[in-house]
A and B are shown apart, each in its own frame.
Chain A
Amino acid sequence: MVSPKIFGNVLSGRCKRNQQTHFRQIRADIALNIRNPDDYVRETKLDIQRVPRNYDPSLHPFEVPREYTRALNATKLERVFAKPFLASLDGHRDGVNCMAKHPKSLSTMLSGSCDGELKVWNLTKRECVRTLQAHEGFVRGMVVRFCGTSFFTVGDDKTIKQWKMETPGYGEEEEPLNTILGKSVFTSIDHHQKEGVFVTCGQQVDIWDEQRSSPIRSFSWGVDSFSCVRFNPVETELLASCASDRSIVLYDMREATPLKKVIMSMRSNTLCWNPMEAYHFTCSNEDYNLYTYDMRYLDKPFTVHMDHVSAVLDVDYSPTGKEFVSASFDKTIRIFPKDSGHSREVYHTKRMQHVISIKWSSDNKYILSASDEMNIRLWKANAAEKLGLLAPREKAAVNYSQKLKEKFQHHPQIRRISHHRHLPKSIYSQTKELRVMKEARRRKERNVRKHSKPGSMPVVTEKEKHVVTVVK
């Protein structure tokens, strides 16, 4: 690349001092900046063009305004390409109640409905590969075993059934591998990550061994019903459950009694552990919020996530642990970053009614939502993402736009565009109403504090407001 300057060579334009030539004496050292066009123009039409670079900042003025303009364009294009809805899987004949992810196969998904029917779906072909009548009554919970060869379901007929994952051959009947009869209705089931142990909850939390037909341990703490139980994916011996006395109870499988519980102001519907952080779990509550707790410090939640306008029914974390998705009774799905108080994305459709269950696929790309009107919908996790294989230049351009949007995200014009979402009229007006109510409560509190003795009315932060007490 460096063109050699041959000292004394007349062709390169430099002359030696006092060189006696035939015609005249050259008097000085003179050189001009000469470029050889062969170095700058491509040799044949089949080559790519040559692009020499010079990163001197004076040759590239207005760095910041140009980057800002590019970030603005990138934000606008993101809104243009934000089309998250992919497909709707229909086939169920009653509202879909629960879903389960396959731990080893990204394209398999199970769903159970309110008439006891269970369907196994192939997501790449978007069709149902297997249907079986699992229970009489609701299918309350299902979970696939960690090896992926069998799955468990619990239903309203007080049974736990274990089924094979493979479709039965021609002429064979659909029979469960194992059926366990219980004393009361089971409401939820979850399986251990490594051992052959699963846990169910109903009137008490039972830990079962797959080989036994009665629970090896039962936990209860004076509560009559539990709605959800989950194993911690990182600390595999810990579990948490949501109880009907508005509390969340933590257990260690190795101990005989529960560890501790936190009582909140309203009941939690479900909870989900963060797959990356061992101590954090998020619970979806009836008071339209989600609370992320640190298991070690239950006296106040780590974050309060507020954006829904009706009870939150289900929550699931992304496999990266950085975001989670929540399904609510108000017919919308919201995606929240794990440490932010407000959602970054909301998905809704006119045809989607109350969303009962939600799952984030294990490749971090898709969200599956099961709703009241017998449909399961497949959405993109990043609404503006281009699916499929990207060329290296495309990938570089996507990364560059992403970084630019991140850099300028706080500038008002860019923030306004990137936060703008269309909401259905009912949700928009409900949000406004809730804001007015909150403002009124705050104003009244402020007035009371202003007109009372300073210090007599302590400041209670938003986080502390929702926790009643922690019991050990």
Chain B
Amino acid sequence: MYPFPGSAPVPEEKLKKFRRGVKGELYKLRDVVIRSEAASDLAQKQNARYDLMLPEDAGFLEGDEDEDTCTISQDDIVDAVDITAGAKYFNLTLSQFGPYRLDYSKTGRHLLLGGRRGHVTCLDWQSKQLMCEMNVMETVNDVKWLHSEALFAVAQKKWLYIYDNKGIELHCIRKFNDVLRMQFLPYHFLLATASATGFLQYLDVSVGKEVVAICTKAGRLDVMAHNPHNAIIHLGHSNGTVTLWTPNQREPLVKMLCHQGGVRSVAVDKTGTYMVTSGMDKKLKVYDIRAYRPLQSYFLPAGASCLSLSQRGLLSAATGDIVQVYRDVWGIPVTKPYMAHRAKGSVWGVHFCPFEDVLGVGHGEGFTSMVVPGAGEPNFDGLDANPYRSAKQRQEWEVKALLEKIQPELIGLDPSQLSQVDHSTWEQRHEDRVQVLGFDPLAKEKFTPRLKTKGRSSSGKVEKRKKQVAHEDQRIDKERKEKEKKKAAAAGQKSALDRFRK
């Protein structure tokens, strides 16, 4: 019926994207392992096939042969695309209340702005509908959305305040004083705050308790980022080091010397593979976080004060009042930016919007929303962060998210540590068991040759039989290795009759 029998082949790179874990070699429980690996392979193929059918495509910006994409201005882009897309570029002129810090909610629909002189406002930026606007009458250091668009946290001059999205003050947390920067870990419901006194504190926003207050002894902490892949907090210090923290330890997990001056900004990508840092030595460095190796180092004429990484790997670096966007900084060394824009005032905060091709810039004269084609992930997952969710869906999502809230004890460098085989515990338990029993229950019994009649069991013959078996262990391993080699060779060989084989 069909010209090509069986199911369509799936490209290898797509398959690799959905591979989890490594195929291990276990000879015990072999059939269990084979069955579960078969199920996992099927899941991998189904995922890869579904991936090819996703409805939306990412945006793109391609210049002509003689043209640099960084010379294309926002107005040109707005003219080239339709009205709804053009509405994503807008400016909010708020020159009274100081440079603005911003945060987008996890779904990308709601925007929170905090001006230094106390102006705090939250709005649905796509429909330009204002949710609340107030002046807290104090210095605002940072603003952050909590798990949904219902609550946000404002780090004011002295203490940490939590507000409702209507502007009602819900909590004033005095334990968290002099907070300079905040990061929210969505799957743990933890708000991590870095203070001017050198304390890194974690607040569980679902129960309202402080989980841990770590004295970092590293002075003023005003550079903070979090790794979305494993919930580790990255702090940048004035001696050029970047330290990695979990709530389970009083000491940093890792200390990396990144720059020769102070560190000005840190950003980590969503897969937890790359970290981009910028320092006072006017350098922009890219590191592989999994192996702690430096990958690239770029020189910027005036160092970048704010960094942000988008979902698709675009990096925005802000210097003074210029914002530059670079594409693919960790691959082939980048020579020129992808896009550039001059903001109306000196830039105080940049943040990519989660599922949109938009970069939000908070500066001295207010807020600018820039269009950056190809920044946001085009296909969102409806069960995780759905920008089009109704109130009912949000309530259901919130309940489920709270039920599967991860305990802070599970935060570590490798999030999949729970699924690894725990060899050390097994060995410890085995040793204890041997001690209790007095013998090793798993030890192989010594070979005793069977008693044979008619003189075949004389001591000399018995010794001969024992010798034959003496190298049996090594022989079994050798045979197994040869079998594997043959299998691998046979799999690689192609014969002319392969096209008839199903």
Contacts and interface: CB of A to CB of B under 8 A. Distances in A.
Contacts of A442: 436-438
Given A13-B81, A32-B357, A57-B20, A64 B415 contact: yes
Interface string B79-90: 111101100100
Contacts of A41: 388
A33 B382 contact: no
B62 A62 contact: no
Contact of A56 (B17, B55, B228, B230): B17
Nearest to B43: A55
A450 interface: yes
Interface in A125-143: none
Interface stretch (A22-30, A157-165, A284-292): A22-30
Contact of B373 (A11, A31, A40): A31
Nearest to B401: A66
Interface string A23-51: 01011111111110101110000000111
Contacts of B392: 49
Interface in B287-301: none
B56 A30 contact: no
A54 B374 CA distance: 18
Contacts of A408: 418
Interface string A202-246: 000000000000000000000000000000000000000000000
A2 B377 CA distance: 16
A32 B59 contact: yes
A124 interface: no
Interface stretch (A67-75, A104-112, A176-184, A255-263): A67-75
B80 to A, nearest CB: 5
Given A27-B72, A58-B270, A33 B376 contact: yes
B379 A54 contact: yes
Of the listed residues A56, A70, A461, the one surrounded by the most CB atoms of chain B closer than 10 A to its CB is A56
Contacts of B404: 66, 69-70, 73
Given A30-B77, A33-B357, A449-B438, A53 B381 contact: yes
B382 A51 contact: yes
Interface stretch (B45-53, B247-255, B342-350): B45-53
Interface in B374-416: 374, 376-384, 386-390, 392-393, 403-407, 410, 415-416
A33 B229 contact: no
A30 B80 contact: yes
Contacts of A17: 64
B63 interface: yes
Of the listed residues B47, B51, B54, B88, the one surrounded by the most CB atoms of chain A closer than 10 A to its CB is B54
Number of chain A interface residues as a range: 35 or more
Contacts of B438: 442, 445-446, 449-450
A388 interface: no
B231 interface: yes
Nearest to A59: B381
Contacts of B380: 52, 54, 59
Contacts of B407: 69
A154 B7 CA distance: 63
Contact of B406 (A5, A10, A26, A62): A62
26 contacts: A1-B55, A2-B55, A3-B55, A24-B79, A27-B64, A28-B63, A29-B61, A30-B61, A30-B77, A32-B59, A33-B376, A34-B81, A39-B55, A41-B388, A49-B393, A51-B383, A52-B380, A53-B382, A53-B383, A54-B377, A56-B381, A58-B270, A61-B230, A62-B231, A65-B410, A411-B418
Given A29-B62, A64-B416, 14 more contacts: A3-B56, A13-B85, A28-B62, A30-B373, A32-B373, A51-B382, A51-B386, A52-B379, A52-B381, A58-B271, A62-B231, A65-B410, A66-B187, A68-B418
Interface of B: 17-18, 20, 47, 50-51, 53-64, 67, 69, 72, 76-77, 79-82, 84-85, 88, 187, 228-231, 270-271, 356-357, 371, 373-374, 376-384, 386-390, 392-393, 403-407, 410, 415-419, 436-439, 441
